[in-house]
Chain A
């Protein structure tokens, strides 16, 4: 029998997933744990249930630290609410020392999928991409000893002995000779695969600050990770726009800050061009993502956007995802317009509002949770 804590653990997981004890659901917080990998850092979801207690509110009160520095110098990171002396009821544990570990991207994707309970994607369209793979499905008469197929070899020897009448059922001794030997051999196969393209569009007008971009960056990293785990071959294109749109590389995408007005249609137009030029919707799974703070220049332009969505983008895409990052300056009007037109839930269009960094995981779940 396993330790009883495994039952507690299973119960905890069920509560977190919302299967039992619905009244605890509102206390579940989807925290995350940062995992350093190389020079970058990844976060792994680490859900907790916070039992409500009387506790001090204002964490901006600050705290205490130790180290070099003068008044006014920044203290990296946030105070850890669990790090105050005198907290925690465990016995005395010897200091926690950080260990280094290598996590592959596949493992990270698996963790993400597991934690968010993401369904696997069912690709649409026919498989169009060819790739060549060798599989050991054949049998040959020559080969290295390490690939010798014992069962086939003995079978062959048995056949020969019966044919030559040297087999005695009373004394069934089978001795393979050189020419009985059989070996596993490879077959070369052409496999067809699904191909996918992700087109990211981001509003970089003046109202999108660094924090908003950071959110988009983090979110698109995880989305890429998941889609990469689902499609063997994936292309990623980036478009930035303010009043005009242009295609850029990844580096520019996340670091550009423009100013000025916003015409979302410019991005949609460019997206349309890219699809028409490079991606035949019969062969490709197409995922356009658009991130903005929801401010568009005019109602006319919004109408133009809807037109483009209706006529071109939606019909060819697996799903179109719109993520609205909350910003102090944005009105959030575009989201409302989309909801009015397509409703909160639609087959081809997924809408998500991302309030702050904590909202990222929920938003990813909204985008990818449908398995499209």
Chain B
């Protein structure tokens, strides 16, 4: 069923035009494909993380429910979706007016360049479209075999742990290398009996075909693992933040369950770089749509519409940081500072405010600098390195907190260090608590011990207890969580019957 269609005619000509400007600006991007669709389709795509085909699960239905209600009641509207793939797919809303389409296209080229060049994206699978579709087929097949409810139930449990990721897994770690090695070894072995795998078909397809082959072999009895054999495999000490990866290796689960954990884990890691570079990515794309529009693409009759749309996207909020706004302003600030040499020892140590204000070494490295920044930073290092007191003041940034006396949220501080610290703590570990496996044989009873690396904010205990319950369903032995709660070290435990605190 074709809900999207390639652009033609005027839009295609517009694409060629904008692409020309993007090349002229020095952007380096994957081949770009635009398709148009109606609002319902774009809601579907957005609900599915941008992908036309995902595994069946109610959570996509939930996101779709909210997006379509939001659209129907006029709360929000999505203009475009862009996906990190090669070639890079982007979907435009058919009903966008001409200026919107221009802005959106220019914006998309910014994202595309970012996806291609930013270091944190270097290991993402650019064929994710196929991979996601295959995941869907696999999970549907498991549903046919083991029952839709059972599979969905298991997926729910895994989704409960999906946010426990190790960002180091995005790069070539030693374990990743070993894993790759094992995989290619296994592939060699498998390709001996499965001759058809020895060709140049994509990795995703091959993995899919292997599963099929495995399923076909199901009639043969699987070598059953002895119970104590599993315990022998469980290491006494193996710290890991990659909880799902750990469970695949050590939890007493069936092969299909391990496969499902692997599927969800792969998808989570695919989206991780986007969560880590939200401010930069949006800032970069907005910087470029603004430049391309104002310098090249805009017709003088469209200037008001453009300004209106742009201002809407850049709107500041008193409750939250708008990543578009902070991102674009920080990019521009860096460009300005590096154009005028406003950095380094000499500049920092200058105490004459007037001189500092008019500082200009005619360095003109601004453009080169922001290209370099988009290559090597993520949001945390971006903020850490380039946020300045001056910038915070100009952007009117502040932190706020709840005042129990007045019963409302009040501006707490406009101090640079407080702002920076707050921003960084919100971004640390992509905003999720840091949880690691501490012991897979806790108390020498095959219990699982997780520990929460506490940086000042307690966990939500209700959620934590429910999460432990779900973890128990996978680990099947008591699960423990070491954390700090109300200034005290505690260990929460769920043993399959009740949730309790042990000390």
Which residues of A line the B interface, CB within 8 A? 1, 3-13, 15, 21, 23-24, 27, 33, 35, 44, 46, 48-58, 60-80, 83-101, 103
Contact = CB atoms under 8 A, between A and B. Distances in A.
Contacts of A96: 76-78
B317 to A, nearest CB: 6
B412 interface: yes
A100 B74 CA distance: 6
Interface string B157-187: 0011111100000000000000000000000
Given A9-B65, A33-B70, A75-B409, A91 B78 contact: no
Contact of B461 (A57, A97, A103): A57
17 contacts: A5-B44, A5-B64, A9-B61, A52-B464, A53-B467, A56-B458, A63-B422, A64-B422, A67-B317, A69-B318, A85-B427, A89-B274, A91-B82, A93-B78, A96-B76, A98-B312, A99-B74
Contacts of A11: 58, 61
A48 B467 CA distance: 17
Interface in B321-373: 321-326
Nearest to A51: B159
A142 to B, nearest CB: 46
Given A49-B62, A92-B82, A87 B411 contact: no
B78 A94 contact: yes
B80 A71 contact: no
A86 B312 contact: no
Interface in B44-75: 44, 46-50, 53, 56-62, 64-66, 69-70, 73-75
Interface in B253-284: 268, 271, 274-276, 278-279, 281-282
A187 to B, nearest CB: 39
A97 B399 contact: no
Given A55-B432, A85-B279, A86-B276, A64 B423 contact: yes
Given A9-B64, A46-B66, A73 B410 contact: yes
A44 B69 CA distance: 9
Contacts of A90: 46, 49-50, 81
B3 to A, nearest CB: 7
Given A79-B319, A85-B426, A91 B58 contact: no
Given A85-B426, A86-B431, 12 more contacts: A7-B61, A15-B58, A49-B62, A50-B463, A53-B162, A54-B481, A66-B317, A66-B318, A66-B398, A84-B320, A89-B271, A93-B81
B457 A56 contact: yes
B490 interface: no
A54 B463 contact: yes
B120 interface: no
B145 interface: no
B470 interface: yes
Given A53-B467, A54-B432, A91-B82, A8 B160 contact: no
B192 interface: no
Nearest to A66: B316
B275 A3 contact: no
A99 B76 contact: yes
Contact of B321 (A57, A85, A94): A85
B414 A8 contact: no
Contacts of A88: 275
Nearest to B270: A89
A100 B325 CA distance: 23
Contact of A64 (B80, B107, B426): B426
B409 A71 contact: no
Contacts of B426: 63-64, 84-86
A353 to B, nearest CB: 20
Contacts of B73: 33, 35, 44, 101, 103
Nearest to A50: B463
B81 A65 contact: no
Contacts of B318: 65-67, 69, 75-77
Contacts of A23: 153
B430 interface: yes
B64 to A, nearest CB: 5
B384 to A, nearest CB: 14
Contacts of A58: 457-458
A364 to B, nearest CB: 19
State the main secondary structure of chain A at its contact with B.
loop
Given A65-B398, A90-B50, A52 B466 contact: yes
B288 to A, nearest CB: 13
A104 to B, nearest CB: 12
B427 to A, nearest CB: 6
Most buried by B among A10, A66, A92: A92
Contacts of A7: 56, 61
Nearest to A31: B66
B397 A66 contact: yes
Interface stretch (B20-28, B290-298, B400-408): B400-408
B363 to A, nearest CB: 29
A6 B41 CA distance: 11
Contacts of B467: 52-54
- 3 nearest A-B pairs in the assembled complex, by CB-CB distance: A101-B74, A62-B401, A8-B61
Contacts of B470: 52
A12 B65 contact: yes
Contacts of B317: 65-67, 83
A227 to B, nearest CB: 23
* Chain A CB within 10 A, most for which of B315, B402, B412, B469: B402
A98 B400 contact: no
Contacts of B152: 21
Most B CB contacts (10 A, CB to CB) among A75, A94, A96 go to A94
B216 interface: no
B97 to A, nearest CB: 13
A35 B379 CA distance: 33
Given A12-B58, A67-B316, A69-B398, A86 B433 contact: no
Nearest to B312: A97
Contacts of B153: 21, 23
Which of A64, A73, A91 counts the most B-chain CB atoms under 10 A from its CB?
A91
Contacts of A48: 62, 66
B495 interface: no
B409 A62 contact: yes
Contact of B410 (A50, A75, A77): A75
B464 to A, nearest CB: 6
Nearest to B42: A93
A100 B467 CA distance: 39
Contacts of B325: 66
Given A46-B69, A54-B433, A65-B317, A94 B410 contact: no
B376 interface: no
A324 B213 CA distance: 63
A12 B69 CA distance: 14
B156 A64 contact: no
B12 interface: no
